């Protein structure tokens, strides 16, 4: 006769519950071991049924215990494997040069000044992030705190500021910076999402003379949002024009008072002053700046004899009016970045001795603007102006004839 036996195997089911009170980072000690930084809630005990025993809430698998410092974050607990990585900030800049920029993808040379002109940006800034290993489709929210006026903003999808945000304002690195070397659809100018303007400046609508603090949060799927990163701080500049005059034989700096000797005027010959008038122009004005020129008398005149040489727009080499002449000619223009520095047709003449006339009315000399591919701001703009004269009467000694020339710079803010 066979006997049968019944082996009963208890099944233990661990039930995870979400309690309302948790005690974080506790050390659990026994005589044999210690559990460091355990997360324990207020539940406990067992539930007994016919076929199972359940242990209730001896720990919370959704707990988020972490250790942080200024340079690292150590995370533990079940959900941390799902969270995106907290991004880092590579740069946040408004007034840097090529010598102190931390940004990698400025389109022009000379840091932020190469994008906004001298001495830097007053209404925009450049931000670049380190994705900290997040995938290319991770999205980022940028928080911008106005420390001067105690207002918190968030970067909108059009790169302006607002005090609120929605999901549309979370942007990929490509959408945020206009370039992402980890994304093959956004790593060079042949890609549709690539944007040089965002590489130049991607935070718009800032207030001049204001200190801002920027931090970034990452999101890589539902419920994966991170805390905001460590912050960077920067101060916007004022709308600015820098303008300087030099008088020298070569492209060098000089000091006031500015006096230029044309030299002796030889009968029916053109005399060119040995020195050149040099104009320096730098501005962060978005729409550029204009430099105008005018004089006092509209001619060279002698206070001793009353003799004059008229200022006319003509080729002094031929002197069509046979009355001599006097004027200025743009000899050269350069710039470090942006612009370019452009010239008025009145003074940018073709002939070696062809000049533009001076008068008591302001006449445009050099300028920057935003027509076509031109950029209004300019850094390191430099123009050389030649002064020429011809006498139709007789030789005139140096110092007998004089005129006062004024240069005026106006910004287009």
* Sheet arrangement for strand 308-310: 308-310, 299-302, 401-402
pLDDT of amino acid 150 = 98
| Pick from 203, 196, 85: nearest CA to 134 | 85
Q: How many Cα neighbours within 13 Å face the side chain of 223?
A: 5
Question: Look-up: residue for tokens 């287009």?
Answer: 412
Q: How many Cα neighbours within 13 Å face the side chain of 383?
A: 29
The first and second tokens of residue 367, run together, are 């300028």
pLDDT of amino acid 24 = 46
Task: Mark the ranges of the chain whose per-residue pLDDT is less than 70.
Answer: 1-30, 34-82, 397-399
Q: What is the dihedral of CA 307, 267, 322, 330, to 10 degrees?
A: -90
Q: Which residues neighbour 26 within 8 Å (Cβ) at sequence distance 6 or greater?
A: 37, 38, 39, 40
pLDDT of amino acid 390 = 94
pLDDT of amino acid 4 = 44
pLDDT of amino acid 39 = 54
Q: Where are the domains of the chain?
A: 11-76, 88-235, 241-411
CB 226 within 8 A of CB 85: yes
Q: How many Cα neighbours within 13 Å face the side chain of 262?
A: 29
pLDDT of amino acid 220 = 87
pLDDT of amino acid 22 = 43
Distance separating alpha carbons of residues 159 and 157, to the nearest angstrom? 5
Q: Which residues neighbour 371 within 8 Å (Cβ) at sequence distance 6 or greater?
A: none
CB 354 within 8 A of CB 390: no
Strands (E), 209-275: 211-219, 232-235, 241-248, 270-272
CB 61 within 8 A of CB 73: no
Cis, bond preceding 257 (omega within 30 deg of 0)? yes
pLDDT digits (tens, 9 = 90+) for 275-314: 999 999 999 999 999 999 999 999 999 877 778 899 999 9
pLDDT of amino acid 257 = 87
| Pick from 381, 124, 38: nearest CA to 242 | 381
pLDDT of amino acid 396 = 72
pLDDT of amino acid 68 = 55
């Amino acid at each position: 006769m066979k006997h049968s036996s019944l082996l009963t195997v208890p099944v233990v089911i661990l039930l995870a519950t979400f309690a309302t009170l948790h005690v974080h980072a506790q050390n659990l000690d026994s005589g044999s071991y210690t559990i460091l930084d355990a997360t324990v809630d207020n539940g406990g005990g067992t539930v007994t049924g016919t076929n199972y025993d359940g242990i209730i809430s001896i720990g919370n698998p959704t707990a988020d215990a972490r250790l942080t410092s200024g340079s690292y974050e150590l995370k533990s607990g079940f959900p941390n494997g799902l969270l995106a990585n907290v991004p880092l900030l590579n740069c946040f800049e408004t007034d840097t040069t090529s010598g102190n920029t931390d940004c990698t993808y400025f389109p022009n040379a000379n840091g932020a000044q190469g994008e906004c002109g001298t001495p830097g940006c007053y209404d925009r800034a450049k931000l670049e992030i380190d994705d900290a290993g997040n995938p290319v489709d991770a999205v980022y929210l940028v928080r911008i705190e106005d420390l001067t006026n105690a207002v918190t903003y968030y970067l909108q999808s059009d790169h302006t500021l607002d005090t609120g945000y929605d999901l549309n304002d979370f942007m990929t690195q490509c959408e945020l910076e206009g370039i992402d070397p980890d994304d093959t659809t956004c790593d060079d100018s042949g890609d549709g999402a690539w944007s040089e303007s965002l590489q130049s400046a991607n935070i718009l609508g800032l207030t001049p003379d204001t200190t801002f603090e920027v931090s970034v949060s990452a999101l890589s799927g539902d419920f994966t949002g991170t805390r905001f990163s460590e912050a960077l701080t920067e101060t916007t500049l004022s709308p600015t024009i820098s303008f300087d005059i030099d008088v020298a034989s070569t492209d060098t700096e000089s000091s006031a008072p500015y006096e230029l000797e044309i030299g002796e005027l030889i009968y029916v010959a053109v005399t060119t002053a040995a020195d050149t008038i040099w104009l320096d122009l730098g501005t962060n004005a978005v729409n550029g700046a204009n430099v105008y020129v005018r004089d006092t008398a509209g001619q060279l005149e002698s206070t001793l004899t009353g003799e004059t040489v008229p200022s006319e727009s003509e080729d002094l080499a031929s002197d069509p009016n046979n009355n001599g002449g006097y004027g200025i000619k743009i000899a050269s223009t350069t710039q470090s970045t942006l612009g370019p520095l452009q010239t008025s047709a009145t003074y940018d003449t073709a002939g070696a001795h062809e000049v533009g006339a001076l008068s008591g009315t302001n006449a445009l000399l050099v300028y920057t603007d935003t027509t076509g591919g031109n950029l209004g701001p300019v850094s390191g703009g430099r123009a050389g102006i030649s002064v020429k004269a011809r006498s139709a009467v007789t030789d005139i000694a140096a110092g007998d004839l004089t005129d006062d020339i004024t240069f005026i710079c106006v910004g287009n803010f």
